[in-house]
C-alpha cells in the first residue's frame, strides 16, 4: 500500500474513511475507543523506595550481604551490623542523588494539555489534543503545535518548524500535491505535518492519518524502551565483582582444604575462610565510589550540568567520541543576518560586503565595512535593502520577560530580516505608516519569492525577496548609487558567482530586488524586469563556546563528530567554523549510509567527521557502529529525532532550555544552560573521578590483599590465625573507612585534558596497578608475619595486637603511596588533601583507643603495647613506603627514557 504522502487527497479520504467536512461527534467518540487517546507513553516515575532498592543491584553488594548473613549466623552480631549499616548508608546517598536529579528533571518538564481546532459535523471545534482521532480535519494556524500526523489538504503559505524532528533549522514550506517517490524521509514529506512540530507561518487544513504511539514521535518513544545501554563504570564494577567472587571462591576452597589436611577443625577453618572473604572483599568500595561520584555531581551542578545518574559523569571522562547534533547544540537555533552584499558600479568591482553584528534576535548590533564600524546613515544603499527587508517581513520578534530572551512568532528567515532592519533604525509599524502596504504576494514554494507593494510620496515601491536563482532570473536591471542601471549578462554571471561563494560560507542567501515607480495590476506576472539590490546572507550562528570546546576536546584525545539533518554544504561550513571538520576529513550522507553494511560503516568512521542529511535511524546506526568498534561514545542532542541515539549511546547529553522533553528523558546528563563548553568541563571531571576511583581501588585491594596473604601464608605455614574476624572488620571499616574516604576527596590532578585518555581495563585494574598491589601486599604480609611470629610463643593476645596494629600502620603509610602513580610523596604537597591528614589523626587515635581502652580490649582481644613495640612496628611498616618509592623512581626513569626515544 502506498504511503499517505504518495496518494492524492481523494484516495487519502477514502482510505481513512473521512471527508473535507470532518467526522461526526458520534464517529469521533467511536474512533477514540478504537484507536485510544492521542498521547505518548509516559515514562514511569520511580518512587524513592524503588530507587533505594536499585542501589543494591550489584554483585559486590550481594557478596557483602551474604558475608553479613554468615557472620551474623556465626554469632558476630556487631560485625554483621557494621557491614549492614555501611551498605544502607551507601544506598541512602545514592537514592538521594538520583531522586534529586529525577525531581529536577520533572521540574524542567512543562506538561500542559494543549488544544487543537478540528472540523466536526462541518463546524470548527476546539478540543483537547488527546481526543483527536484518525479522520479528524485539523485547522492549522500560525503559532500552534501540530497535534497528530496528518496529510495536508489545503495550505496558504504554510511553513512548519520541523527541527526537533529532522534536525534541519530551516522551516519547511508545505504543499498538498502527492509525492510520487517511495522511501522519502520525514524531512522530504512536504505534504505531511507531524505531531510535535510547530506552525511558523500561514495556515492550512490536514486530515489526521495516525495518532498516539503510531505517530512518528510515538514510534520513537516506543523504540526507546527497547534500547538497552549501560554506563561503562557500572559494567566495570560488575566485571570487578565477578572477578572478586571467583578469586574469593578459589582461595577459600584451597585454604579450607589446606587447613583440613593440616589437622584443623571444620569450624575453625570455616571461620578462617570467612575471615579471608571479609579481608578480600573491599567493603568500603561501594560507599566511596558513591561519595566520589556524588562529589563530582555536586561540582558539575555549579556549572549548570544536571547529572541524572551518578555513573554518568565518570562515563563522560572515558568518552572517545562525542557526537553532536548541529541545530540547537552547536548552533543557537536563531537565524541571524550576518553579511550583506551590495553591488557598486559592477558586481565584482567596488562591491561591498557589510558585516552585521549582534546577538540572536536582539534588535541591536553594529555594522562593519572592511573591518571598520560604520554609520548606516552614510550608506543609503544599505538602508534601502534594510527597508526592503522590513517591507517583506511578516514575522514578529518579542522579548520574554520571564525567560529574558527574544522570541520569534512567524518565519525565522523573515524574523532575521526584521531584526536586521531594526539594527539599521527601522521600525516596521512606523515605516508602514509612511509607506502603507497596498498589496502583497506571500511566499509560495512554487514562486520562491515574497513580494509587496508599498505606497510612497509620489510612486509605489515593489519590494521582492526570495531564492537568488529565481530573483536573478527576474532581474533586468541593477540598483547602485541610488540609481537603476542595466544588468548585463556578464555582471549577472558575477552575481551568480558571488551567490555561490557566500553559500560555501554556510550562509543561507536571500536575494533582494525592487521596482520603483511600480504601476499596474499587482499579480505574479507583474513581478518582472526587477532591479537587483543585493544579497542577504544569514546563518543559524554557532554558539560562542563551541569552537574552544571542540579544540579542548580534540586536545584531550576525543574525536568530535557532527550528525545533522542539514545539507552537506551547510553542514561542512558549520563543521569548519566549529573546528570539527579538518582538511582530509570525509562527509557521509544518510543516502550513503544506507548503502553500507555495519562492518563497512565501521571501517569508514575513522575518516568521517560529519554525517549530513541523516534520519533518526541513521543516527542510531552510527552510534551503534561506534560502540561496535569498542569506543565509548557520548551523544548530544535536543530534538525528538535525537532520542533513540541519546538512549543508545554510552552517554546521552541533552539541552535543558531548547531540548524537547523526549530528549531530556532519554539522556543521562542535561545541560541546564545549553552551554556546550560544559561538556569538556564534565570530561575533565569524569577523568578526575576515574583517577580517584583507581586510587581507591588500589588502596583497598592492596590492603585487602595484604590481609588475605597474611592469613593464607599463616595457614600454609601451620601458624595460628594472625588476625581475628572482628579485627579484620576493624581494619576494613574503621582504618580503611576513614583513609579511603579521604583518598576519595583527593584534589584534581593537572593535565587531565592533555593527551589521549587510556580506556579503563575490564576490571578497572591495569598492569601497573597489579604490580603495585603485589609489591604492597607482599611487603605487608612479610612484615606482619615476622612480628607475629616473634610474639607467637608468648602471650597470644599480644601477638594478635602486634599483627593487627602492624597491618593498621601499614595502611596509614599505604594511603600516602596511593595518592599518585609516579610522583614521590616527597614531591607532593602534604597539605593539598587536608581530609587525608584529618583521617590519619582520627585513625591513629582510634587505634590507640583499641589498644589501650579496656572495653575495646575485651571486644577485639587486644592488649597494651610499649613504646619500644611501637617503634618496631613503625620501622617495619615504613618498608611499604620505601618499596613503593623505589618502584616510582624506576617508573619515572623508564618514562623519561621512552619520551627521549620518541
- Burial string for 684-720 (b: 16+ CB within 10 Å, else e) reads bbbbbbbbbbbbbbbbbbbbbbbbbbbbbbbbeeebe
Beta-strand pair 633-637/651-655: parallel
Pairwise CA distance, residues 65 & 53, whole Å = 13
From the candidates 325, 566, 638, 650, give the one annotated as an active-site residue.
325
Q: What cell does 680 get? A: 569538556
Please report where in the chains the cell 532570473 appears, as a residue.
Answer: 473
Please report where in the chains the cell 515601491 appears, as a residue.
Answer: 461
Residues 6+ apart with CB under 8 A from 42: none
Pairwise CA distance, residues 146 & 186, whole Å = 15
| Strand (E) or helix (H) holding 139 | strand 137-141
Q: What cell does 841 get? A: 589523626
Beta-strand pair 559-563/608-612: parallel
3-class state of residue 446 by DSSP: coil
620, 625, 629, 633: CA torsion to nearest 10: -30
**What's the 3-state SS for 813-878?**
HHHHHCCCCCCCHHHCCCCCCHHHHHHHHHHHHHHHHHHHCHHHHHHHCCCCCCHHHHHHHHHHHC
Residues 6+ apart with CB under 8 A from 657: 672, 673, 674
CA distances from 398 to 170, 358, 402, 418, 419 (A): 20, 16, 12, 12, 11
Pairwise CA distance, residues 661 & 858, whole Å = 60
Q: What cell does 892 get? A: 619515572
Q: Is 34 a catalytic residue?
A: no
Residues 6+ apart with CB under 8 A from 426: 383, 386, 387, 390
Residues 6+ apart with CB under 8 A from 262: 715, 718
Pairwise CA distance, residues 607 & 604, whole Å = 6
Q: What is the DSSP string of 65-106?
A: HHHHHHHHHTT-HHHHHHHHHHHHHHHHHHHHHHHHHHHHHH
Active site residues: 325
Amino acid at each position: 500500500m502506498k504511503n499517505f504522502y504518495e496518494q492524492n487527497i481523494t484516495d487519502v479520504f477514502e482510505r481513512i474513511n473521512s471527508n473535507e467536512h470532518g467526522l461526526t461527534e458520534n464517529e469521533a467518540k467511536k474512533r477514540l475507543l478504537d484507536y485510544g487517546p492521542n498521547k505518548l507513553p509516559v515514562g514511569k516515575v520511580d518512587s524513592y523506595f524503588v530507587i533505594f532498592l536499585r542501589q543494591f543491584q550489584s554483585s559486590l553488594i550481594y557478596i557483602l550481604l551474604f558475608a553479613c548473613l554468615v557472620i551474623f549466623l556465626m554469632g558476630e552480631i556487631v560485625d554483621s551490623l557494621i557491614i549492614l549499616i555501611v551498605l544502607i548508608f551507601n544506598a541512602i546517598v545514592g537514592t538521594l542523588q538520583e531522586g534529586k536529579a529525577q525531581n529536577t528533571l520533572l521540574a524542567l518538564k512543562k506538561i500542559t494539555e494543549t488544544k487543537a481546532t478540528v472540523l466536526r459535523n462541518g463546524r470548527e471545534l476546539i478540543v483537547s489534543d488527546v481526543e483527536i482521532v484518525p479522520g479528524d480535519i485539523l485547522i492549522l494556524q500560525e503559532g500552534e503545535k501540530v497535534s497528530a500526523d496528518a496529510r495536508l489538504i489545503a495550505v496558504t503559505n504554510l511553513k512548519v518548524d520541523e527541527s526537533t524532528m529532522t534536525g534541519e533549522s530551516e522551516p519547511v514550506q508545505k504543499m498538498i500535491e502527492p509525492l510520487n517517490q517511495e522511501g522519502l524521509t520525514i524531512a522530504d514529506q512536504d505534504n505531511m505535518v507531524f505531531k510535535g512540530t510547530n506552525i511558523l507561518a500561514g495556515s492550512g487544513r490536514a486530515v489526521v492519518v495516525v495518532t498516539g504511539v503510531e505517530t512518528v514521535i510515538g514510534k520513537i518513544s516506543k523504540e526507546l524502551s527497547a534500547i538497552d545501554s549501560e554506563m561503562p563504570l557500572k559494567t566495570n564494577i560488575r566485571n570487578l565483582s565477578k572477578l572478586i567472587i571467583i578469586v574469593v571462591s578459589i582461595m577459600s576452597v584451597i585454604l579450607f582444604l589446606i587447613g583440613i589436611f593440616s589437622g584443623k577443625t571444620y569450624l575453625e577453618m570455616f571461620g578462617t575462610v570467612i575471615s579471608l572473604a571479609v579481608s578480600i572483599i573491599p567493603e568500603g568500595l561501594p560507599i566511596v565510589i558513591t561519595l566520589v561520584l556524588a562529589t563530582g555531581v555536586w561540582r558539575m551542578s555549579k556549572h549548570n550540568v544536571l547529572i541524572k545518574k551518578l555513573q554518568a559523569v565518570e562515563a563522560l571522562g572515558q568518552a572517545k567520541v562525542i557526537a553532536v547534533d548541529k541545530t540547537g547544540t552547536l548552533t543557537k537555533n536563531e537565524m541571524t543576518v550576518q553579511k550583506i552584499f551590495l553591488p557598486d558600479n559592477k558586481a565584482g568591482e567596488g562591491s561591498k560586503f557589510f558585516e552585521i553584528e549582534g546577538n540572536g534576535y536582539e534588535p541591536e548590533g553594529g555594522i562593519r565595512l572592511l573591518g571598520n564600524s560604520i554609520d548606516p546613515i552614510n550608506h543609503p544603499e544599505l538602508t534601502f535593502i534594510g527597508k526592503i527587508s522590513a517591507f517583506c517581513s511578516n514575522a514578529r520578534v518579542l522579548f520574554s520577560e520571564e525567560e529574558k530572551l527574544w522570541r520569534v512568532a512567524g518565519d525565522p528567515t523573515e524574523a532575521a530580516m526584521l531584526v536586521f532592519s531594526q539594527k539599521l533604525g527601522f521600525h516596521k509599524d512606523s515605516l508602514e505608516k509612511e509607506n502603507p502596504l497596498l498589496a502583497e504576494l506571500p511566499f509560495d514554494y512554487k514562486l520562491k519569492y515574497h513580494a509587496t507593494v508599498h505606497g510612497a510620496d509620489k510612486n509605489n515601491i515593489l519590494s521582492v525577496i526570495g531564492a537568488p536563482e529565481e530573483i536573478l532570473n527576474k532581474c533586468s536591471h541593477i540598483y547602485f548609487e541610488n540609481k537603476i542601471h542595466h544588468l548585463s549578462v556578464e555582471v549577472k554571471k558575477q552575481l551568480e558567482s558571488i551567490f555561490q561563494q557566500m553559500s560555501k560560507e554556510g550562509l543561507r542567501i536571500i536575494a533582494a530586488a525592487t521596482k520603483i515607480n511600480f504601476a499596474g495590476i499587482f499579480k505574479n506576472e507583474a513581478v518582472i524586469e526587477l532591479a537587483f539590490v543585493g544579497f542577504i546572507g544569514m546563518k543559524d550562528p554557532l554558539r560562542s563556546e563551541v569552537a574552544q570546546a571542540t579544540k579542548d576536546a580534540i586536545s584531550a584525545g576525543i574525536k568530535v563528530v557532527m550528525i545533522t539533518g542539514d545539507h552537506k554544504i551547510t553542514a561542512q561550513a558549520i563543521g569548519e567554523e566549529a573546528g570539527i571538520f579538518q582538511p582530509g576529513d570525509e562527509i557521509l550522507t544518510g543516502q550513503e549510509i544506507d548503502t553500507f553494511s555495519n562492518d563497512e560503516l565501521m571501517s569508514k568512521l575513522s575518516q568521517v567527521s560529519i554525517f549530513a542529511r541523516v534520519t533518526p535511524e541513521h543516527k542510531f546506526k552510527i552510534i551503534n557502529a561506534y560502540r561496535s568498534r569498542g569506543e565509548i561514545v557520548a551523544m548530544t542532542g535536543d530534538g525528538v529525532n535525537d532520542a533513540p541515539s541519546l538512549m543508545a549511546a554510552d552517554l546521552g547529553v541533552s539541552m535543558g532550555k531548547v531540548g524537547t522533553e523526549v530528549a531530556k528523558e532519554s539522556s543521562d546528563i542535561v545541560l541546564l544552560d545549553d552551554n556546550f563548553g560544559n561538556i569538556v568541563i564534565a570530561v575533565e571531571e569524569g577523568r578526575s573521578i576515574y583517577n580517584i576511583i583507581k586510587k581507591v581501588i588500589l588502596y583497598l585491594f592492596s590492603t585487602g590483599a595484604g590481609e588475605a596473604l597474611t592469613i593464607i601464608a599463616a595457614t600454609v605455614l601451620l601458624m595460628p590465625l594472625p588476625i581475628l574476624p572482628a579485627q579484620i572488620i576493624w581494619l576494613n571499616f574503621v582504618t580503611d573507612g576513614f583513609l579511603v574516604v579521604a583518598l576519595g576527596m583527593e584534589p584534581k590532578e593537572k593535565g587531565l585534558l592533555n593527551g589521549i585518555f587510556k580506556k579503563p581495563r575490564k576490571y578497572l585494574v591495569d598492569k601497573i596497578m597489579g604490580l603495585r598491589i603485589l609489591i604492597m601486599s607482599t611487603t605487608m604480609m612479610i612484615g606482619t608475619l615476622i612480628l607475629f611470629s616473634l610474639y607467637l610463643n608468648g602471650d597470644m593476645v599480644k601477638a594478635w595486637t602486634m599483627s593487627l596494629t602492624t597491618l593498621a600502620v601499614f595502611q596509614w603509610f599505604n594511603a600516602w603511596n596511593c595518592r599518585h602513580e609516579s610522583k614521590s610523596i616527597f614531591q607532593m604537597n602534604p597539605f593539598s588533601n587536608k581530609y587525608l591528614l584529618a583521617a590519619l589523626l582520627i585513625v591513629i587515635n582510634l587505634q590507640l583507643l583499641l589498644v589501650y581502652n579496656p572495653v575495646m580490649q575485651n571486644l577485639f582481644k587486644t592488649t597494651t603495647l610499649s613504646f619500644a613495640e611501637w617503634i618496631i612496628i613503625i620501622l617495619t611498616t615504613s618498608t611499604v613506603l620505601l618499596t613503593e618509592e623505589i618502584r616510582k623512581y624506576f617508573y619515572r626513569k623508564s618514562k623519561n627514557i621512552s619520551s627521549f626515544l620518541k
